[in-house]
Amino acid sequence: QVQLVQSGAEVKKPGASVKVSCKASGYTFTSYDINWVRQATGQGLEWMGWMNPNSGNTGYAQKFQGRVTMTRNTSISTAYMELSSLRSEDTAVYYCARRSPYGMDVWGQGTTVTVSS
Amino acid sequence: DVVMTQSPLSLPVTLGQPASISCRSSQTLVYSDGNTYLFWFHQRPGQSPRRLIYTVSNRDSGVPDRFSGSGSDTDFTLRISRVEAEDVGVYYCMQTTHWPYTFGQGTKVEIK
C-alpha cells in the first residue's frame, strides 16, 4: 500500500540543524510532490514547503526561506527536510505528505523534533 | 497570505446529532483552471492528519458518507450528518489555490 515512513525523533540544541527523512513506498516516488508540514505541541498545522522529486525543484514558505532545504534521493525513494539554526520555537512534529493533483492525500507518521539546551 | 478562518473553534456535539464547521478564506479559492483547491482534514490525538474531502466536496476513499463538504468562492462548510464517537478530534480546512498554502486554525470536536 501507499505509505510514507519518516525517521525517528530527534533532540537538538539551539543553533544546530536537523534532517528528517521520508521514505515512500507503494507508488512511483518521482510522480508526486512531497510537502512538509509542522505542528507545534497543541497547535495547528503549518505548511513549510514542497519538493518535486523528479526535478528536485522546491518552493518554501517565506517564514522558512534561508533555513530550510528539501532534497531527495530517488534511488531509495526518500525525501529529506533539513532545518538549520534551530530555536526552541522549532520544537514540533514534522510531517511529510504526498501531494496528488488534488491535495495532500498520504501523510507520514510524523517526526518529533525537540530543540532544547 | 490567504487567511483561513474556521468557526467554531470548539464544537461539543451529541452522539447521533449533526455537526457543521465553517471555513472562510480571505480571497477567492477559485484557481485559474476553474477548480477550487479547498480541503478538509481530520486529526485524532497522536495521529497524522487524514484527508476527508478534496476540492470542496469530494469524499476520499473510505470516508463515511455522513461527511460532506460544500461551498464556493470564499465560504465553505464541512457537515457531519450524525456524529459518531470516532469523529472526535480536530478538523482543519486548507487551501492550495494560493501561495503559500494555508490552514485554518482547527476546530476541536468533542462529545458532550
Contact yes or no for B89/B10 (Cβ under 8 A): no
* Rounded CA separation A101/A33 (Å): 9
Residue A24: closest CA among A81, A96, A93, A102: A96
Question: Do residue A110 and residue B51 have CB atoms under 8 angstroms apart?
Answer: no
Cell of A63: 517564514
Considering CB atoms only, which of B37, B103, B106 is closest to A47?
A: B103
Q: Are A76 and A23 in contact (CB under 8 A)?
A: yes
Closest CA to B2 of B68, B108, B96, B79: B96
The pLDDT value recorded for residue A101 is 84
A52-83 pLDDT, tens digit each: 999 999 999 999 999 999 999 999 999 999 99
Tens of pLDDT, residue by residue over B18-66, are 999 999 999 999 999 999 999 999 999 999 999 999 999 999 999 999 9
CB–CB contact A45 B41 (8 Å): yes
Q: What is the pLDDT of residue B24?
A: 98
Min Cα distance A20 → chain B (Å) is 16
Tell me how close the Cα of B60 comes to any Cα of chain A, in angstroms.
8
- Give CA–CA dist B57/A106, Å, rounded: 18
Backbone phi, then psi, for B28, in 5-degree steps?
Answer: -60, 140
- Cross-chain Cβ contact A45/B94 below 8 Å: yes
> Cell triple for residue B92?
482543519
Percent of chain A clearing pLDDT 90 (strictly above): 96
Whether B77 and chain A come into contact, CB under 8 Å, resolves to: no
- Given A59, A95, A103, which is nearest B39 (Cβ)? A103
Residue B12 pLDDT exceeds 90: yes
Instruction: Using pLDDT thresholds of 50, 70 and 90, give the confidence band for residue A102.
Output: confident
